[in-house]
Amino acid sequence: MPRSVHDLPMRPEEPLRVGDVIAQTPIGTTIDVTLFPTIGINRPGTDRWPVLIQELDEISNWVRTQAVPRLLTGTEPPEPALPTLPTRYEIAVGQQDERHAISMGSTTSAAERHKQRLTAATARIGMAELIGQTDGAPSEQQITAWLAQLTDEQVLERQSKLKATYTYDPDILLNNIEVLELLRGEAQEFERDV
């Protein structure tokens, strides 16, 4: 079992085809696996299949940092750079002042939000398992309900307090125990409030 996705060998940037092997396990062994398929786009005239959302993110970034400043100033992007334009703003509601709504928009790109969602989804699963192993922990169902009501940012902030240890460093282990006890306390508090 690899410890990290970085331990897996890099695959070429090409689509999977029927019959391609994506994982192997001994016969009769069951291993839980979560797949997050990646959508690629073939660059014309090449054999490359870069990730679509990354390509779109690069185009969006170029438009905001290069194209729009050139259109506004009629020259190369000025120094100091113009303030970065938000990547999105709320369009589901009517706005009295569009300029104000745009200025209050988020600078987090769709690619970054996508990465956060995937990381948070994985973190929720791992954290539920880890917290469930602590003494006096609520049921896994209660822990999962607590984690589900947290935003992705809140989950990632809590996960960042847990440190990976491959050497079983006592300081890191003690830190992780303290963090897990705090998280268990939050889950218990949520259980009482529900």
In the structure encoding, which two tokens stand for residue 87, read together? 């990547």
Mean pLDDT of 21-40: 80
Peptide bond preceding 80: is omega within 30 degrees of 0, i.e. cis?
yes
Mean pLDDT of 58-68: 85
| Residue 76, pLDDT above cutoff 80 | yes
Mean pLDDT of 96-123: 85
* Number of structural domains in the chain: 2
| Residue 140, pLDDT above cutoff 80 | yes
User: What pLDDT does residue 92 have?
Assistant: 81
| Mean pLDDT, rounded, of the chain | 85
Extract the runs of DSSP E, i.e. beta strands, from the chain.
none
Give 3-state DSSP helix, strand, coil % of the chain, rounded to 5.
50, 0, 50
Q: Is 8 among the domain residues? A: yes
Of 6-15, 86-95, 125-134, 177-186, which range is least confident?
6-15
Tell me, yes or no, whether 24 and 77 share the same domain.
Answer: yes
Domain that residue 178 falls in: 119-193
Which one of 82, 107, 132 terminates a domain?
107
Q: Is 113 among the domain residues? A: no
| Residue 159, pLDDT above cutoff 90 | yes
